[in-house]
Amino acid sequence: MDDSDMILLAHGGGGLLTKELIEQVILPPLRNPVLELLDDGACVTAPGPNLVITTDSYVVSPLFFPGGDIGRLAVCGTVNDLAMQGATPLWLTLAFIIEEGLPVAELRCVLESVRTAAAEAEVTIVAGDTKVVERGKGSGLFINTAGVGLRIEGTEVAAANARPGDAVIVTGTLGDHGVAVMSRREGIEFETKLVSDVAPLADLAASVLEFGADVHCLRDPTRGGLTAALCDIAQASNVCIRVREDALPVREAVAGACNLLGLDPLNVANEGKAVIVCDPNRTAAIVDRLRRRPLGENAALIGKVDAAPPARVLLETRIGGERILQPPTGEDLPRIC
Amino acid sequence: MDDSDMILLAHGGGGLLTKELIEQVILPPLRNPVLELLDDGACVTAPGPNLVITTDSYVVSPLFFPGGDIGRLAVCGTVNDLAMQGATPLWLTLAFIIEEGLPVAELRCVLESVRTAAAEAEVTIVAGDTKVVERGKGSGLFINTAGVGLRIEGTEVAAANARPGDAVIVTGTLGDHGVAVMSRREGIEFETKLVSDVAPLADLAASVLEFGADVHCLRDPTRGGLTAALCDIAQASNVCIRVREDALPVREAVAGACNLLGLDPLNVANEGKAVIVCDPNRTAAIVDRLRRRPLGENAALIGKVDAAPPARVLLETRIGGERILQPPTGEDLPRIC
């Protein structure tokens, strides 16, 4: 198949054309001993019994955005969900729903990103599926990845595990992914380049999880941003999370773009950041460890956990006031991931 | 949320409306101790190290068809992929891509089918995801399921495992699923009701796999039908598969509808059937065992494996001729599963 070809409906029919698409386009960049068998399922050997399983579909529009594309996102997003559950990612599945007419060249670009991101995250793509829908019944390309990981021993992270007195850390700047996608979608050009932070966090998470049971919660603030992640933790743990506005790392360009677009950077999706809730005695050591790594260089202590008022997230504003952070309703940013 | 409501774009935004959709509509029918945590991933304990992982997206149009719907299909299809790899299905993930405007009532019907099929297949839905795309960027509903199963001990089934002398068995009538979907899509009414065969095959497969290493290949003839499944086996094993036309079980109504629609029932998808290649000494016992079960009551010995010509599937026709079964190109039946 040439790069100038387009995907046809028949490429999803399960016959010769499907075989051609898989063998000539999809398999070559991803080839490994398990995947190349192209069997109904992949046989693997688990290195231990405590597994984590997750799934996510990716419907980001546009498919390509500054700093990444839907392929990199589909690998990192699912790898990060495993990492946030305290697992070492092992295997991914990769399922495409292609809209008839997608240029093969675009699919190849996405596959190359999948390959690179999977190598970065040290995860193996073991099973796949490809479907094609008629023009006007899809949106270029949707990807689903499911992931299986091995839970790291001694890890007790869970959204319900935050305790009064805990520290709240974020591993870097907020809002980069969502603003990069939105600015590309809206055709807005900013002088400073806005770039998605999409990256695999498993390695960074593992380095934090060496602090064992002192790490109470790990969460990646994707859809709904930091606000949604903190609200989830506050509700699940029935605690109050207080964050300080002046401690929140937000790039100037992101803050500016959010102003222009009418968005709150705290509600905007991130794809390469984590929120960590930990024993307060470990705060300095964890922030220090994070800052030694490229993906954690802007890590910051942003707040603390109190007992009351329960199931609440409060923002101490720059001018000394306090406001409730409400979970976003979800209208602001469709199809950001 | 009421049944008269429609899914809005904001239901996919990751905020309050997403939460409402998940907690009021999606979770209740599927609730179990793992899923209800609604965490980023599901923590499970594997009962053994030899796992099988698979994924499939379902884009069937229409969403509801005689004998099933996209929900039942999404569970059975992935369960069957695990079963065909010689695994006992354990866990499924379930990811929805919903087109804005889908009636909540339809989503509830699909979820009820998911619940019923998962119970039938004795598989637990442990993780999920929900995305919403704009009207005109989807097709009502797409579903991805990924599955993890435990490989049954002593099983050696693989597409590359067919050997000259082997018997080829099919567990029931051919073409039922594809014809049921096509007839509904084309608005064709037949006097005899055409009904999809969509069903979970794990139990049936397990009963066959009690014959251990004497069972060489297991394959469910889905997209591309029996022809595609046999061509895959013939190529992977580098053997010739000869099937007898008069031995192939095809319902009269399906044969009639195929005639009308210009389809070959051998190329039409099945969703509740398996092809078994086994040691010829076990043929009678396996067919007998299959026929004692409702899902295998029309099981039949349909052919045998020869050494040459390699990588070929030959059909001995009713009038004594022989023709090559070519893998379908994939143009006949888009979006059948």
CA angle at A173 for the pair A172 and A178, rounded to the nearest 5° = 125
Alpha helices in chain B (DSSP H): 16-21, 27-30, 70-84, 104-121, 176-185, 202-209, 225-237, 252-261, 283-291
The SS3 call for residue A83 is helix
Question: Per the CB < 8 Å rule, is B269 touching A14?
Answer: yes
pLDDT of res. B332: 65
- pLDDT surpasses 90 at A94: yes
CATH number of B9-151: 3.30.1330.10
Distance CA B106, CA A275 (A): 37
Of B218, B41, B203, B313, the closest CA to residue A41 belongs to B218
Structure token digits, residue A112: 């190359």
Torsion, CA A202, CA A145, CA B9, CA A12, rounded to 10: 160
How does the average pLDDT of chain B come out, rounded? 95
Structure token digits, residue A52: 């984590």
Residue recorded with tokens 């009038």:
B319
In a mutagenesis test of the B interface, which of A53, A60, A84 is the best target, namely the one with the most B β-carbons within 10 Å?
A: A53
Neighbouring C-alpha atoms within 13 Å toward the C-beta of A4: 0
CATH number of B159-324: 3.90.650.10
Summarize pLDDT for A5-59 with one digit per residue, the tens: 999 999 998 888 999 999 999 999 999 999 998 888 999 999 999 999 999 999 9
Residue B335 C-alpha from the chain's centroid = 13
- B4 vs chain A: nearest CA distance in angstroms? 21
Q: What is this model's ipTM?
A: 0.96
- pLDDT surpasses 90 at A266: yes
In a mutagenesis test of the B interface, which of A17, A38, A40 is the best target, namely the one with the most B β-carbons within 10 Å?
A: A40
Of B12, B9, B126, the closest CA to residue A269 belongs to B12
Distance CA B230, CA B327 (A): 9
Q: Check: CB of residue B286 under 8 Å from CB of residue B211.
A: yes
Q: Check: CB of residue B22 under 8 Å from CB of residue A202.
A: no
Q: Check: CB of residue B232 under 8 Å from CB of residue B298.
A: no
Distance CA A69, CA B197 (A): 39
In sequence order, what are the beta bridge partners of B55? B146
Of A253, A266, A245, A254, the closest CA to residue A321 belongs to A245
Distance CA B295, CA B80 (A): 13
Residue recorded with tokens 């000494």:
B281
Summarize pLDDT for B239-283 with one digit per residue, the tens: 999 999 999 999 999 999 999 888 999 999 999 999 999 999 999
CB atoms within 10 A of CB B90: 22
Question: Searching chain A, which residue's CA lies closest to the CA of residue B93?
Answer: A55
Q: Check: CB of residue A58 under 8 Å from CB of residue A35.
A: no
> pTM above 0.80?
yes
Q: Check: CB of residue A142 under 8 Å from CB of residue A96.
A: yes
Letter string b/e over residues A33-72, b meaning 16 or more CB atoms within 10 A of that residue's CB = ebbebbbbbbbbebeeebbbbbbbbbbbbebbbbbbbbbb
Domain ranges, ordered by start, for chain B: 9-151, 159-324
Nearest residue, CB atoms, B13 vs list A95, A146, A331: A331
Q: Check: CB of residue A337 under 8 Å from CB of residue A58.
A: yes
- pLDDT surpasses 70 at A142: yes
pLDDT of res. B185: 86
pLDDT of res. A38: 85
Structure token digits, residue B120: 């039938």
pLDDT of res. B186: 80
Distance CA A167, CA A297 (A): 18
Question: Per the CB < 8 Å rule, is B14 touching A223?
Answer: yes
Q: Check: CB of residue B138 under 8 Å from CB of residue A97.
A: no
Nearest residue, CB atoms, B133 vs list A144, A223, A335: A335
- pLDDT surpasses 70 at B297: yes
Structure token digits, residue B306: 């020869």
- pLDDT surpasses 70 at A148: yes
- B22 vs chain A: nearest CA distance in angstroms? 13
